[in-house]
Structure 1
Amino acid sequence: MWIKLIKNDLKRKKIIHITLFIFLVLSAFCISNGATMLVKLSHSIEELFAKAEAPHFVQMHAGDIDQAQIDSWSSSSPLVNLQQTVAMINIDGTNLSLAKKQNPENNSVMDISFVKQNEKMDFLLDEKHNLLTISNGEIGVPLYYKYRDDLKIGDKVYVQEEHFSMEFTISAFVQDALMNPSLVHSKRFLINELDFNALYPHGEIEYLIQFQLADKKQLTDFSLHYQTAALPNSGPAIDSQTFMILHALSDGIAASVIILLSFLLVSIAILCLRLTIFATIEEDFQEIGVMKAIGIPPSYIKRIFLSKYIFLAAFSCLLGYLISLSLSPFLYTKMAILTDAPSNQIIDIIIPLLASSFLFLLVVSFCHLSFNRFRKISATEALREGSLATKTQKNNWISLRKNRFLPVNSFLGIQDVMIRFKTFILLLGVYIICSFLMVVPLNFLTTIESPTFISYMGIGDSDIRIDLQNVRESDQRFNEVLNYIKNDPAILAFSPLITSRFQVLDQDGKWGQMQVETGNLEAFPLVYLEGRAPAKNNEIALSYINSSELDKTVGEQLFIKRGPSDDEKQVTISGIYQDITNGGRTAKAVFEENSENILWYVISADIHSDYSIPEKIAEYSSRFSPAKVTHLESYLTQTLGQTINQVKLITIISYITGLFVSMLITILFIKMLLAKDFSQINIMRRMGFSIKDIQIQFLSRVSFIMLASVLLGTLLSNTLGPLVINTIWGTLGASQIEFVINPIYAYLLSPLFLIVSVMFTTMLSMSSLKNHHLMNGK
């Protein structure tokens, strides 16, 4: 009997059930993919680090090394389990071409290195996380370039100098546990040992001094021991935790936004179910009364109605789960660490199944609670009234007699919304969420595409940036560049900055390491979360993550020193800024740099409007080679290009979803309202109201709710939206991102698309009113 009832009911209310079915499938698909993506991302990062046998501590060093000294120190340290020193051949971008000889990496922000496969740890893997073996004449190219340039197996890579050239054929794409993320401005190309030896004399040599520890919990102690041992340290030192954070930032943003989208859709699904259940009770009110009158217990009636939703929820969640299995590879194509990664049955199958099952249980539980309404239905009332009685209060302030401005039908529609606001609040909530779905990802996309987003990377806004890092005699080269820029009439303003390593006393009383950028901080100032830029020799500004880890705020004191044997210096924290680079752990000051431990040099400059920026970049690139000269807009694109592409895809999906959901919920609501107001519509028809009059009243109701939703949705998008985004980015160093809003898209086109789609759907849903006289029996 239940199967027959379910079958007949599904046939009788096709539009409502098809709409609900589609919506539940969409919710199951999103929650399955969101959960899978987060778990898969976490698992893939852990698996990549495990299979690559990633080091726990890496010291980059430009210059000569004494490997015997390193070996002696490592063997005597109880903290060290394994040590390896990796030589990298740094190739200037002007000498490297990918796929086409005429397109060298002239203005790339990446430090390009050629390496051979390692022997002890830090192995370079293929896309399936297998150990890569490269033959003579072949090359393994980092995944970053595969997605940036759409490279394919068989494409060529050229290294060409004035009196030397080499040609390689791409045979694989490299998964690099240390340097995969676009935020890491170093990329390793894997070549055969014979090719490595041939190339060795033609590039700058840099070393990665790597350690695996017996207990990685002692990473802080090890770092301090290394820095106090007078070992090679002419370069940044990075630990495995920082590498993992950079991986999570590069690919995790997409997963986080999809999870947010999933929760919003599940919220709408619950509201949608409530609407559908109430519509069902309204339409079947008399049948429920008859069943109660002949003695059928409320619990049995509840099971009859509930069984339909159990069946619908089970089928929808199962289909959403199956679709997520088939389409999930498409969503992962822009996530470098997930693409073609080894399949894991538990993650690929069980996690989305658990997520879909969670949605199913949530739907069934909500239906179970909603159908408790049957107990309040009186058989006599149901047979007499024919619909669920709604108590309304008299509101004199919205009386038709006092209306002086609106047409009668429009006023009656708005009056009905005000009187029965509880009925319409569900529609208001859904439209607000739809507006949120459309506007927040769009605002976030315009924000990270904006040139001002560079400030969240701890960089002042300038036209060009010149980087000198890991270059022989960098200090001499830096002074040469600086002297030339000082006398160049094309330069409007410039700021030389030097990053060096200092030691800092943490809250546990232990000395750690800190990268401090010193120099002219006034020419291209940052926006500070708190306080201001340092102006005196006894002041320092900390990045957000540094201030959080040191548990320091503006006005408090900090102890720093240049080296183990140097005197401590007490400095006052003048400000806190945002920075998502270098793991978010940086600082800025105006006191003298640590000349014994300089990491890199940077010169930022603005170009006079009478000169061409591209031409000046080309001139400086040629004159200052191998220094990197970058247009700041290009710097942002190269660093966050992959993340921007992911957010673009999610924005499109979210935008379409918002429009689609608003149309679906409008269909459901209008169907429910027509069922609920069936008797009232009959009375109005007898009073002389035409079908057009009633349609105008319905349009007025929906329009009023729609306009209120757009206003509230826009308000929430610009208040709650940044709060959600800041929660995600706060763990990465940017805790207060201000949206850069395109008013045409956010305030005009998005609301217009939403209003037009809802109005069109409303008119379409009310087409059944034309046949109302047939239902009346006339």
Structure 2
Amino acid sequence: MNLTMIKKDFSRNKAINITLLLFIVLSACLISVGTMIVIQLFGAIDSMYEIAKPPHFMQMHTGEINWEELNDFAESVDYVESWQVIEMVNIYGGNIRITKPDGKYYVMSDSLLDIGFVKQNDKYDLLLDTNNTPIYPSKGEIGVPIILLDSYDIKIGDTLTITEGDYSKDFTVTSYVRDSQMNSTLCSSTRFLINEEEHDEIKNRIGKIEYLIEFYFPDESLASKFQTTYEKAGMPANGQPITYAIIRLVSGISDIIMVLIIVLVSLFLIFVVAICLRFTILTAMEEEIKSIGTMRAIGMSYKNISQIYLIKYRFLAILGCIAGYALSLVINKYFTSHIAETFGPPKLTLAAMLAPIATVCLVYLFEIYFCKKIIKKIKRITIVEALRSGADRSKANASRVAKFINLSKFKSLPVDILMAVQDVAVKARAWLLLFFVILIAIGIMVVPVNLHNTFKSPKFITYMGQSQSDIVVSLAKSENIAEKFDEVFDVLNSDSEVEDYNVEAEVVYEAINKDGDWTNIHVDCSDVAKSELQYLEGKAPENENQIALSVLNANEMGVKVGDTLPMLINGQEMSIVVSGIYQDVTSGGFTAKMMRPYDKEAVEGYSFYINVKDGVNIQKKIDLYKNKMGVETEVVSMEEFIDQTLGGVSRQLGKAVVAVIIMSMCLVALIIILFFNLQAAKEYSQVAIMKAIGFSVQDIRKQYLLKVLMVSMIGIVFGTVLANALGEGIVSGILSILGLGISKITFIINPVNAYLLCPIATLIVAVAVTWYSSKAFKRYNIVQLINE
């Protein structure tokens, strides 16, 4: 009997039921995909980590090491299970040449990552191939980090040459390397893998050695405790300390941001499904009010009547959730391709199968609970009220609204427009469904689009601890860094096409952290304060006794604006006032800015931020500078600087944006189909009468199109306003939780995308679907209405 009732209802209301089904499919699919990606992401990371064994705590260090002291310290900590020190030979990208089989070549001088050459370790922190097997290169072979393949065309069989002075050595690319800890563009370094014998050779001939001091514990949660112990013991710490938790977070950050967008959108979609179910059920109850009264009159209980209504929606929810889950299995590969490339193919484990099923079941339970809440309204319907036609009440409601609209005042407007405006005003409550869904659709589309544009914009450099410029020239520390500085200085001063430039020197001072210990702090010193940075509190330094700290550095030092920070500068202890706290995602988020003279002998590197005059071709200028300044100088455009740092995050976010836009367009199309079919049944008599008194089908279709356009445009305006008002707060909260060095973000909006293309695309879909759906008016006629 139940199956027969469902079949009859589906045959009578095909469009409505199919539309509701598709809504449920979309919501279940997205929540399932989001859950599946999270499980597979961390499953793939864990599988890789089981083989690679990244450190639980790592201290990067440049400089001398007292090996005996370090060994004694490690043995004194009872929970240290193992430890090792890796020698990474950092070689400037300008000294690395990639040669193709046809003889063409390029140098890697524009690489923003520190390029390190290492040998394979014995047991821990292993570098893997694309099959997640440890690589052991033979002499003359080299493994290239996978993360560089997005920026550089490096193929198996290419020749990689390192040179410095009269020293040169060739390697053949034989494998791509998966690195368990340096596998994101947000990391400051990346590692090439070479043979042990050749590693011992080059470390004495080229580059600069940086030590990776790594420790392992029974439980990785001991890393924070150990870090405090390590720093208090005064162990080597001229570099960034990194814990297992940070390695894990940075490894998956690009996919995590994508998942968060998908999950947020799916939650909004579940809300839309709830709104649609409410509207559909109430419309059905309104149309069948007399049938409900009859059933109550013959003695049927509320439970029996509610089950008649609920069975259809229960069937739709079950079918939609099953179909949504099945669809998520199909489209999952689109979102997990980056995971497969970086960590290895994610395994479809039992947890990866059951967790999405659990979330889909929650969607089902929520929708059924919501349906039951709405159907409870039947309890409040008396037999007398149900058997009385609701027409008089509808007319009364209409008259109360209609009295505020005087059509005689707008006689100059076309009749179609006047009637459309009046109908929307009189039936405003019915049109609220379309309004809210359009509002949500435009909102969930505009926020990811704005976020993606923000990450891609050159202006995002202000969230990376730098002010905006056209070109960035960088000098790494070397024996002849002073000569190279003078050379760059002369080139820029003699270039008439340079508008202005600013020089920033990176130096390392010491400061007292929140635990009362002296720790290294990397400071960028310049003559001009970076007032364009994204300051959360305070402002840029105004004199040499002030310092601006990044968010994470301020937390590490335990200071706020106006506090005094004890610092050791050039061997002299000073009290420096914190003038401001800014946001920065580079260098792990730990940076600082000062306007203070510095010791040139202690400089770790220089950066020149150059603005050229209007009309100057930036790429040609970059090529010219590369030729003049030599391979030891890194020259990149601001766009390239951002792309190399955030390219991985931006690309994954782009995938989410594409999915959200497609889903939003489907959402708009489905809601109009649903709304039209629900309203069409209620307005059958009105349309038939209009045709009888002389309105053509085209006139009626135009009126309906005008109504949809009017409501859609209002929804787009409100949706855009809400997206701008609430979107930044939501995204800022998420980024703050992730601990990337950003806690408050202001969208950098592309008006064409956000305010033109997205609304136009929405309106085009709305118009096309409305015009197609309104063809049904051709079948409406007064004779059939009278016969009924």
Match of 1:3?
3
Letter in 2 for 1:761: V
Match of 2:277?
273
In structure 2, how many angstroms separate the alpha carbons of the residues matched to 1:169 and 1:326? 35
| 1:553/1:576 contact within 8 Å kept | yes
SS of residue matched to 1:262: helix
Letter in 2 for 1:265: L
Q: Confirm or deny that 1:540 pairs with 2:547.
A: yes
In structure 2, how many angstroms separate the alpha carbons of the residues matched to 1:192 and 1:667? 64
Post-superposition offset of 1:98: 6.8
Post-superposition offset of 1:535: 1.5
Choose 28-37 or 685-694, whichever is displaced more. Answer: 685-694
Match of 2:294?
290
In structure 2, how many angstroms separate the alpha carbons of the residues matched to 1:43 and 1:474? 47
Choose 527-536 or 676-685, whichever is displaced more. Answer: 676-685
In structure 2, how many angstroms separate the alpha carbons of the residues matched to 1:216 and 1:597? 36
**1:757 aligns with one of 749, 753, 765:** 765
In structure 2, how many angstroms separate the alpha carbons of the residues matched to 1:693 and 1:616? 61
Match of 1:768?
776
**2:170 aligns with one of 158, 162, 166:** 166
Choose 608-617 or 409-418, whichever is displaced more. Answer: 608-617
Match of 1:131?
134
Q: Confirm or deny that 1:84 pairs with 2:87.
A: no
CA deviation string 1:171-214 (max 9, x = no partner): 3x322122101112321122333453565555314232313154
Structure 1: gaps spanning 5 or more residues = none
SS of residue matched to 2:338: coil
Post-superposition offset of 1:599: 4.6
CA deviation string 1:529-548 (max 9, x = no partner): 33321011221112233335
Post-superposition offset of 1:37: 2.1
SS of residue matched to 2:611: strand
Match of 1:664?
670
Post-superposition offset of 1:324: 1.2
Q: Confirm or deny that 1:576 pairs with 2:571.
A: no
Where in structure 2 are the equivalents of 1:597-612 lying within 5 Å?
Answer: 599-607=604-612
Post-superposition offset of 1:477: 5.1
Match of 2:333?
329
Match of 1:678?
684
Match of 2:256?
252
In structure 1, how many angstroms separate the alpha carbons of the residues matched to 2:62 and 2:487? 20
Cα distance 1:300–1:338, how it changes in 2: closer, same or farther (>3 A)? farther
Letter in 2 for 1:775: Q
In structure 2, how many angstroms separate the alpha carbons of the residues matched to 1:598 and 1:68? 29
Choose 5-14 or 46-55, whichever is displaced more. Answer: 46-55
TM-score by length of 1: 0.90
| 2:27/2:266 contact within 8 Å kept | yes
SS of residue matched to 1:209: strand
Match of 2:649?
643
| 2:223/2:244 contact within 8 Å kept | no
Q: Confirm or deny that 1:436 pairs with 2:443.
A: yes
Post-superposition offset of 1:46: 5.0
Match of 2:740?
732
Match of 1:196?
199
Match of 2:754?
746
In structure 2, how many angstroms separate the alpha carbons of the residues matched to 1:696 and 1:207? 72
In structure 2, how many angstroms separate the alpha carbons of the residues matched to 1:241 and 1:313? 39
| 2:470/2:610 contact within 8 Å kept | yes
| 1:461/1:524 contact within 8 Å kept | no
Cα distance 1:285–1:761, how it changes in 2: closer, same or farther (>3 A)? farther
In structure 1, how many angstroms separate the alpha carbons of the residues matched to 2:619 and 2:200? 36
Letter in 2 for 1:411: L
Where in structure 2 are the equivalents of 1:186-265 lying within 5 Å?
Answer: 186-197=189-200, 199-200=202-203, 202-212=205-215, 214=217, 219=223, 222-223=226-227, 226=230, 232-265=236-269
Post-superposition offset of 1:121: 2.1
Post-superposition offset of 1:235: 4.0
TM-score by length of 2: 0.89
In structure 2, how many angstroms separate the alpha carbons of the residues matched to 1:660 and 1:701? 20
Cα distance 1:604–1:371, how it changes in 2: closer, same or farther (>3 A)? same
Letter in 1 for 2:751: P
| 2:535/2:583 contact within 8 Å kept | yes
Match of 2:34?
34
Cα distance 1:657–1:717, how it changes in 2: closer, same or farther (>3 A)? same
| 1:61/1:206 contact within 8 Å kept | no
Post-superposition offset of 1:665: 0.2
Match of 1:105?
108
In structure 2, how many angstroms separate the alpha carbons of the residues matched to 1:289 and 1:98? 84
In structure 1, how many angstroms separate the alpha carbons of the residues matched to 2:100 and 2:69? 42
Where in structure 2 are the equivalents of 1:454-603 lying within 5 Å?
Answer: 454-469=461-476, 471-473=477-479, 476=482, 479-481=485-487, 483-485=489-491, 487-490=493-496, 491-507=498-514, 509=516, 511-522=518-529, 525-548=532-555, 552-562=559-569, 568-592=573-597, 599-603=604-608
Letter in 2 for 1:296: M
Choose 641-650 or 480-489, whichever is displaced more. Answer: 480-489
In structure 1, how many angstroms separate the alpha carbons of the residues matched to 2:112 and 2:777? 64
Task: Kindly tell me the number of residue pairs found equivalent between the two proteins.
Answer: 773
Post-superposition offset of 1:358: 1.3
Cα distance 1:337–1:354, how it changes in 2: closer, same or farther (>3 A)? farther
CA deviation string 1:451-475 (max 9, x = no partner): 1111111112223323334x44365
Letter in 2 for 1:96: R
Letter in 1 for 2:640: S
| 1:499/1:516 contact within 8 Å kept | yes
Match of 1:301?
305
Choose 645-654 or 297-306, whichever is displaced more. Answer: 645-654
Post-superposition offset of 1:712: 0.7
Match of 2:97?
96
Match of 1:414?
421
Letter in 2 for 1:89: V
Letter in 2 for 1:363: E
In structure 2, how many angstroms separate the alpha carbons of the residues matched to 1:732 and 1:337? 23
Identity %: 32
Where in structure 2 are the equivalents of 1:379-418 lying within 5 Å?
Answer: 379-385=383-389, 390=394, 392=397, 394-395=400-401, 396-418=403-425
Letter in 2 for 1:603: F
In structure 1, how many angstroms separate the alpha carbons of the residues matched to 2:774 and 2:388? 27
In structure 2, how many angstroms separate the alpha carbons of the residues matched to 1:382 and 1:680? 23
CA deviation string 1:15-65 (max 9, x = no partner): 111112222111111111112223433454455445432223333344555
